[in-house]
Structure 1
C-alpha cells in the first residue's frame, strides 16, 4: 500500500545537495594537484569510512550498495586511467563499459530493494553469493566470448525507441527505467530518508555513466557522492530514530530537551494529556489507542499556525513550545486545537475494512457508522516568569496546570495559577 502523504522534501535534501555538489565538481576543468590527488583516492576513502560506519551499525544493505558502486567504479576507473595515459581506449573497454552499464543498475536496484530480514551472517552471505555469481558469470562471458557479448549488448533491439542522444546501450536504459520504477515504488510505500537517498543515488549513476570518458574525474566524484548519499541516509535515519517519534511523526522528547536549551527570555510551554487514555486503551485495544495518539498528534502539529511546535513527551502526553510568545497569544490557538479534537469522531472498523485512501475515509466518516468514539484532551499552560531560572521549571509549572485541568473536569485549557476552567465543548470524556 502506498503512502504518498508521508513523503517529505526533507528526505531528499542531503542526497540532493550531494548530487548538486558532485555536478558542480565534475564540470570544473582546471584542477590543481591537490584536488587531482584527492579525487583519485576519494572513492576508496569513502568506501572505507562509510563501509565501516554501516558495518558497525549492521546495515548490510547499505554496505552491499557501497561495495556494488565501488566495484563499478574500479572497473571503469582502470579504463579511464589507460585512456588518460595512452590517449586511446583498451581493447576490452567497450565490453567492460557495456557490461558495467547493464549490471550496475540491476545490482544497485536489487540491493536497494533487498531489506534486511534474516540473521545478520546469513544476510551478508546471501548478498555476497549473489554478487559473486553475477560477477563470475559476467567475467566468464567477457573472457570467453568478448566479441559476441559486445555485439549482443550493443545491438539496437528497438529502433523506434533509439535516439541520437543515447550514450548507453538500449538494455542499460531499460534496466535503469526498471530500477527507477522499483525505487520510486519503494519510497512511496515506505517514505524514508534512506529510500530517498537510494533513488537520488541511482539518478547520479545514470547521469555519470555517459560522462565517464568525457569529463575527467566524473566517475571518481559521482561514485564517491553516491556512497556518501547512502551513508548520509543512514545518519539521517539514525537522527530521526533518536529525535522523532515513530508512531506520531512528531519530534520526540530528546528534540524537546534540545529545543528548550535554545529558548530566549520570552516563551510559553504547554503540556497536553489525552483524557482517560488508559481506560480507553484497555476498552478498545492498542490499535485504536495508537490511532488516537496519531489523531491528537496530527491536530497538535497544526499549532504551527499559532507559532507553536508540538512534541511527543511520552505515553499520551505531548508538549508544545511557543517561542517569543505571551500566554494571551497562545491560549486562543490551544482552545481551537482542544475543540477540534473534542468534536472529531473516530470510526471503529475492522482492519480488513479500512479505507484505501483519505478521501474514502472522509466519506465513511460522513456517513452513519456502527461504532465510533470521541476523545478529549486537557491542556496546561505556563509562561516564563522572572522567578523561573530554567525552561524545566516552566515545563513543571505547565505540568502543574495540566493537573489542575484534570481536576477541573478535563477537556479544558488551564493556565498556571488559574483557578477556574475555561470553556469546554462538552463534559463527556472519551465516551463511545
Structure 2
C-alpha cells in the first residue's frame, strides 16, 4: 500500500485552526485586557504543563521544541518590553534578534527531526547538552565580539536574492526552508499528528520573528499558539493510542466502551468474527494475518445504515447502529458480509517484495499471485425489553455469533433465531 494513503487532513486541521487563529488575533491593533493578561502568562503555563505532559508520554522531541520556542520568546520579549517602555531598542537588540533568527529555525528543525531512539534519561541529557553547547557558544561570541558577530550575521551574501520585505538576516530564510523540507519529508515518511504539528509550527515562527517589534501582541500570541499546537498534537496522539487500534485504524475496545452508554433507547449491536483465523495464521504467518485483519477492517468501515465499526479484540469486530431497528440493519450486515467474501486477498512473498509500488504492480501483472478468500460470521442483537443495558445486548450479539459459527460460518445470525433461519452462503473459507 502506498505510504501516501496514510496522509490525513485530520492531522493538519487542529494545528491549522490554531495557527490561523493566532495570526488573526496577533494582527488586531488592540486586545481585551483579559486576553492581554492571558497571553502574557500562557507561554510559561504551556511550558510547565505541556512539558510535564510530554515527559509523562516520553515525548522528548516536543519537550525540547517547547523549550526552544519559549527561550526565543523570553529573550525577544525582554527586548520588546524595553522597546515599548522607552520608545527605543536596547543597544544589543539587533544582535539578539539576528541570533534568534538564526538559532530558532536551526534548533527547531534539529529537535523536530531528532527521533527518540535511546533510553529516556540518556536522550534528555543528549538533547540538553546540545542546547547548552549551542547556547553557550552563541552567548560567549556575542559577549566577546558583539560588533564582529553582528556584522557577520547581517552581511548580505546573495545580493540578487535580497528583497525589501526581508527583515531577518539572509541565512535565516534558507534555514527555515531547509527545516521545513526536512519536516515535510519526515511527515510523508511517517504521517502522524505530531509530525504535522511540527511542520505547521515552523511557518508560525517564521511569521512571528519579523513582527516582534511591529505588533504589540505578535510575539506573545504566536509563541503561545505554536506551543499550544505542539501540546495539542501530543494530546491527539495520546488519544489515538488509547482509543484507536493501530493495526486496523478502527476505534478500539476503549472507544467502544465509551460509546455504548450513549446509544439511546433503540440500537442494534453486531459481532463479527473472521472464520478459521487461527488456522489461517498458522498456515500463512502472522504478517499475512495482519493483512487479512486490515482488509476485513476496511470493508467493515464501509458498512451502511449509519453503522460504526470497532475492533473488539483479536479477530473480532463490533458494529454499532444507533437509533436503528434490526430490520433496518440486517441488509447492511449481509451486504458487508458479501463484500468481504468477494474480496480476494493476494498473498505475496514479503522477502522478495519490491520497495517501489510501480515495480510491484508490474511484477504482479506478470506473475499469478496466490490468492485466498476470507469470510466472516456475524451475530446481531437488538435492544429489547429483556436486555436493559448495552452490555447485555453485546452479550446477546456474541451468543448469536457462536450460533452463526455452529450454523456453518459465513452467515448473519440473529439472537434467538434457530440455525435454519440463518442467512448463509456455502463457500470455501480461509
TM-score, normalised to structure 2, is 0.93
Q: Which residue of 2 aligns with 1:198?
A: 198
Residue 159 to residue 130, structure 1, CA distance change in 2 (3 Å)? same
Q: Which residue of 2 aligns with 1:219?
A: 219
Q: Which residue of 1 aligns with 2:90?
A: 90
Q: Within the alignment, does 1:10 sit opposite 2:46 as a pair?
A: no
Displacement, 1:392? 1.3
Q: Within the alignment, does 1:269 sit opposite 2:269 as a pair?
A: yes
- Preserved CA contact (<8 Å) 1:409 1:427: no
Q: Within the alignment, does 1:414 sit opposite 2:405 as a pair?
A: no
Q: Which residue of 2 aligns with 1:373?
A: 372
1:95-133 superposed Cα distances (whole Å, 9 cap, x missing partner): 211111111111111111112111111101100111111
Deviates most, 309-318 or 61-70: 61-70
- Preserved CA contact (<8 Å) 1:269 1:321: yes
- Preserved CA contact (<8 Å) 1:2 1:189: no
Give the alignment of 1:274-353 within 5 angstroms. Answer: 274-303=274-303, 305-353=304-352
Displacement, 1:356? 4.7
1:338-389 superposed Cα distances (whole Å, 9 cap, x missing partner): 2222222222222243355767666666665242322111111122223221
Distance 2:361 2:300 in 1: 20
1:67-99 superposed Cα distances (whole Å, 9 cap, x missing partner): 111111111111111111111112221121111
Give the alignment of 1:160-199 within 5 angstroms. Answer: 160-199=160-199
Q: Which residue of 1 aligns with 2:395?
A: 396
Displacement, 1:30? 2.5
- Preserved CA contact (<8 Å) 2:409 2:424: no
- Preserved CA contact (<8 Å) 1:248 1:294: yes
Displacement, 1:401? 1.4
Deviates most, 107-116 or 363-372: 363-372
Distance 1:396 1:310 in 2: 17
Which structure 1 residue ranges, 5 or more long, are not aligned? none
Residue 331 to residue 161, structure 1, CA distance change in 2 (3 Å)? farther
Give 3-state SS (helix, strand or coil) of 1:272's partner.
strand
1:125-147 superposed Cα distances (whole Å, 9 cap, x missing partner): 10011111111222222222322
Q: Which residue of 2 aligns with 1:115?
A: 115
Deviates most, 67-76 or 341-350: 341-350
Distance 2:2 2:141 in 1: 40
Displacement, 1:331? 2.1
Distance 1:79 1:380 in 2: 68
Q: Within the alignment, does 1:81 sit opposite 2:91 as a pair?
A: no
Deviates most, 50-59 or 265-274: 50-59
Displacement, 1:204? 1.3
Distance 2:407 2:263 in 1: 30
1:256-303 superposed Cα distances (whole Å, 9 cap, x missing partner): 111111112222111000001111111111111111111111111111
- Preserved CA contact (<8 Å) 1:2 1:188: no
Q: Let me know the Cα RMSD of the aligned residues.
A: 2.1
Distance 2:359 2:265 in 1: 47
Give 3-state SS (helix, strand or coil) of 2:301's partner.
helix
1:200-254 superposed Cα distances (whole Å, 9 cap, x missing partner): 2112111111111111121112112212221111111111111100111100011
- Preserved CA contact (<8 Å) 1:300 1:337: yes
- Preserved CA contact (<8 Å) 1:347 1:365: no
- Preserved CA contact (<8 Å) 2:243 2:255: yes
Q: Within the alignment, does 1:30 sit opposite 2:36 as a pair?
A: no
Distance 2:210 2:117 in 1: 35
Residue 204 to residue 248, structure 1, CA distance change in 2 (3 Å)? same
Which structure 2 residue ranges, 5 or more long, are not aligned? none
